[in-house]
Structures are given as C-alpha cells and as structure tokens.
Structure 1
Amino acid sequence: MRIERVESLDKRKCKVFTDEDFAFLLYNGELEKYGVCEGAVLEERTERELLDLLSRRAHERALNLLKVQDRTEGEMCRRLFQDGYPDSIVQETIGFLQEYHFVDDARYAANYLQVHGKRKSQAELKLYLQRKGISREIIREQLEETEHDSGEAIRVLLEKKHYRAGETAPEEEKKIIAYLMRRGFSWEDIRREMKEQEDALS
C-alpha cells in the first residue's frame, strides 16, 4: 500500500489517501506509530495491523451507536462511511453485527410495524422503512406477518380528528377524508369506516 497524501481533518485526526483514493482516518499519534506519511509504502504486516485496528474501532463505534438506538443495516453502513471507515471495514463490521443479530432489518421492520401499524397507512409504513434502507422483500414479508389492518388505523385517526358520524360538519368531513388520503389510505377504506360509524347510529 502506497500513501499518496495525508490531510489534516482536525487537531487530532488525518485523512489518509492511497493510490486507490481515500483509504481511512487515523489519529496523529498513529501516523507516527505506523509510519504513515506521504510517499511511504507500507509493508503487508503494517497494512494488516492497520486493518485490525480499524476493524476493532469500527466494531466499538457500531456498538456505541446501537446503545443510543436500534439501526438498520443501511443506516449503520452510512454512519460508518461518514465516520471515515473504508468499504472493506464497513462490510466486515456489518457481517459481525449481523452474526450476533445486533442489526437485523427484519426485526427492525417488525418492531416498527408493531408500534406504528395502528395509526399509519400501509403506504406510509412502506415509505418509512424503505427510507431506512430496508429491502422491499423484507418489508413485504413483515407486512404479511403482522397483517396490517388499514381499518383499525383509520379508526384511530378518525378518533384523533374528532370525527363523529352525524355530527361532523360536511366541510370538516371533507378535510378529514383529504387528510386520510394524503396519509395513503384509499377512498374505499375511508368510506367503509365512516359508513360503519353511520350504520351504528341507525
């Protein structure tokens, strides 16, 4: 490994660039310890030691992040990349986390659906989980297992909006319907739940 460039990131760390572009971040003391400087060619043994160091550091960083909150595989990858870890170390760390189920996209999706499924539409649930980097296949599987009930979610939101069949003004009812449709619920499902309230009065 040939070191092409070393750039100061802050008072404590530097970015190290190799002939393959950006490689990793090191603390200033580590630059001296491993002989990392512009133009240096690192021996294979030194390279292995650096990778071991970065691997241990990435594992520790990932576990500390998980202490704060659960994260998806995609979120963890993005965070480790942002922290300056090379792709090989990020992928190795993700493998470690998956092995011990510290990150588990299926579990994350199941937990999210359990907590939020009663007040969000299926479209909202899917969009949120996709933005978290969870695959469409996992989302589909978890939605099937949890048997998402759009009707229950609509009833919760109608209650939240203080809808009362026979009492809510027509203009206000239109606003509530528009609100629910923006949330991803279908017109048919919304009308069905409203009609059930109406039928209960008769």
Structure 2
Amino acid sequence: MLEPVGRKQIRLYLDEERYCLLYTGEARRLGLKENMELSEVQKNELDSLLLHRAKLKAMNLLKVSDRTKEEIRSRLKCLELPDTCIEGAVSYVEGYHYIDDEAYVRHYIEFRGASKSRLKIKQELSQKGISPELFERIWEEFDLSEEDVLREQIKKRIRQKGPVTEANFQKTLAFFARKGFPFHEILENLKEFKEQ
C-alpha cells in the first residue's frame, strides 16, 4: 500500500506494516503502484536504495559532529528507514571507524571533564546511548578530581556573579547541586569561599 506524505514523499506499507518513506521519483523508478505485490528483485532494489540513503545520511550526520551509534540510529529512525538498513548504515560507518563509542566517551570527558561533574557527564552520555559500564571503565582512565573541578567552577561563578554572601548562599548551593556535584563538597567549598 502506498500513502502520500506531503507532495514529495510516499509511505510504503509491506504486509500492512509501515516499511519506509520514499520520494515519489524513487517509487516511480521502482515501478511501485498501489496494491501491487513486490517481486524479489524489486524488494532487493528497494532495500539497496534505502541502505544507500541510510549510509549517506549517516555520513552527513558525522560531517557536522561526532556522534554515538545510538544517536545515528535514532536520527535514521526519524527517516522511517527499515531496521536492517539502519543497522547496515551503522555497521558501514563503524567499519571505517567514523564512529567509535569508546573514543567518543574519551573525547567527551577530556572536553567537559574540567567544567562538569562526573554525574552530569554520565547523564549526558547516557542520553546519547552510552552504557554506564562503558562510562565507568573510561572514567577510571582519567585523573580528574571532582573537588578541583567544583572549586574552579565556584571561582568562575564568583567572577561572574560576585562573592558568595548570606543572601545568595542557598541559590549558589542549588546551582551546583543541579550540576550534579556532591552536596557535602558543595557545602564545604561554599563555606570556605563565603568566609573569604
């Protein structure tokens, strides 16, 4: 079954299940018509076309910035591509080492480790599809002191917002708590900076 989607695309259903989105020109080129049975050759040609499109999209996404496997998968799913094509595209870019989740985590920690808490980095990477186990394993490779990061961030906040006073103590405490730093460390450091 073919269902028009806007003026330029058609949604293809196979066995009454949503299969993919095609451009009208592609559907015409494949000879697809309403309520027709796909031959094995047409199905293979369709899958080849969709895999090629998925690979190109994955490569274009990686031109803009590094991404995790899960980020690539979710972006390709938005294009309504079949899972086999999505996995084929992920394997393709992974085969050329264009995506590497371990390297991604290392770069992420290197770049953000000096300004964010361990918990915040872990949460952000989790949203990008990185497993807690992978994060923990790579975090151990780094010699980052969360207390040093917190102290630097407090100094930066003081430069931007002014000294820690009785009036803004709770607000500053809440600010760093939302950033994922341990509460007792925030409290100790803020008291120290407040006394100065």
| 1:66 to partner: Cα distance | 1.1
| Runs of 4 or more above 4 Å deviation | 191-199
Aligned-pair identity (%): 31
Consecutive unaligned residues of structure 1, counting only runs of 5 or more, are none
- Residue number in structure 2 paired with 1:125: 121
- Residue number in structure 2 paired with 1:107: 103
For the 8 Å contact 1:122–1:148, the answer to whether it is kept is no
65-74 or 24-33, which deviates more:
24-33
| 1:195 to partner: Cα distance | 7.2
Which of 40, 51, 70 is the equivalent residue of 1:44? 40
| 1:92 to partner: Cα distance | 0.9
| 1:38 to partner: Cα distance | 2.1
For the 8 Å contact 2:164–2:172, the answer to whether it is kept is no
Q: How does 1:29-68 map to 2 (within 5 A)?
A: 29-68=25-64
- Residue number in structure 1 paired with 2:145: 149
CA-atom RMSD in angstroms: 2.2
Question: Could you say if the C-alpha distance between residues 147 and 37 of structure 1 is closer, same or farther in structure 2, counting changes exceeding 3 Å?
Answer: farther
SS at match of 2:12: strand
Consecutive unaligned residues of structure 2, counting only runs of 5 or more, are none
Residue 182 (structure 1) aligned with residue 178 (structure 2):
yes
Residue 169 (structure 1) aligned with residue 174 (structure 2):
no
| 1:35 to partner: Cα distance | 2.2
Residue 72 (structure 1) aligned with residue 68 (structure 2):
yes
Which of 4, 8, 15 is the equivalent residue of 2:4? 8
Residue 26 (structure 1) aligned with residue 22 (structure 2):
yes
What is the aligned residue count?
193
Question: Could you say if the C-alpha distance between residues 10 and 113 of structure 1 is closer, same or farther in structure 2, counting changes exceeding 3 Å?
Answer: same
For the 8 Å contact 2:164–2:194, the answer to whether it is kept is no
| 1:190 to partner: Cα distance | 2.9
| 1:192 to partner: Cα distance | 5.1
Residue 139 (structure 1) aligned with residue 135 (structure 2):
yes
For the 8 Å contact 1:121–1:184, the answer to whether it is kept is yes
1:47 and 1:108 map into 2 onto residues whose CA distance is 36
| 1:53 to partner: Cα distance | 1.2
Question: Could you say if the C-alpha distance between residues 100 and 107 of structure 1 is closer, same or farther in structure 2, counting changes exceeding 3 Å?
Answer: same
187-196 or 14-23, which deviates more:
187-196
1:15 and 1:176 map into 2 onto residues whose CA distance is 52
